Amino acid sequence: SAVISQKPSRDICQRGTSLTIQCQVDSQVTMMFWYRQQPGQSLTLIATANQGSEATYESGFVIDKFPISRPNLTFSTLTVSNMSPEDSSIYLCSAARDRDSGTQYFGPGTRLLVL
């Protein structure tokens, strides 16, 4: 398995500002992902964080709004830019150690409220 931590665990932000969320894995992993969970909803994949190259975004998510970095095999950041109240969600990162099985281990999430 993999132990994943996220910072911050929660935040309250003003409209128009940006927040960067950090995700740290306790060991090297093959893949890292970012998900969003809007209130009362299931998880939606935002993007795959690729080490050393640009992230791969899912339909409906763009780099200008959600820039992602992955400088090494244990760390990634997600920035939520120019926030609006609609961005209020839980943001979760996950990691897959094994490319074959695809089993993912999730961080505890970052609870974001935008006023």
Partner 1 sequence: SQQGEEDPQALSIQEGENATMNCSYKTSINNLQWYRQNSGRGLVHLILIRSNEREKHSGRLRVTLDTSKKSSSLLITASRAADTASYFCAPAGGGADGLTFGKGTHLIIQP
Query: In angstroms, how far apart are the furthest CA atoms of the chain?
Result: 42
**Looking at 17, 20, 27, 30, which residue binds partner 1 (CB under 8 A)?**
30
Beta strands in 14-96 (DSSP E): 19-25, 31-37, 43-49, 56-57, 68-72, 75-80, 89-96
Amino acid at 91: Y
Q: How far is the CB of 30 from partner 1 (least distance, A)?
A: 6
**Looking at 19, 21, 33, 112, which residue binds partner 1 (CB under 8 A)?**
33
**Looking at 52, 85, 100, 115, which residue binds partner 1 (CB under 8 A)?**
100
**Nearest Cα residue to 27 out of 3, 8, 6, 11:** 3
Q: How far is the CB of 1 from partner 1 (least distance, A)?
A: 8
Q: What is the distance of C-alpha 52 from the center of its chain? A: 16
Q: Copy the structure tokens of residue 54.
A: 């640009």
Q: Which residues between 49 and 78 bind partner 1 (CB under 8 A)?
A: 58
Q: Say whether residue 26 binds partner 1 (CB under 8 A).
A: no
Which residues form the interface with partner 1 (CB under 8 A)?
1, 4, 30-31, 33, 35, 37, 41-45, 47-48, 58, 90, 92, 94, 96, 99-109, 111
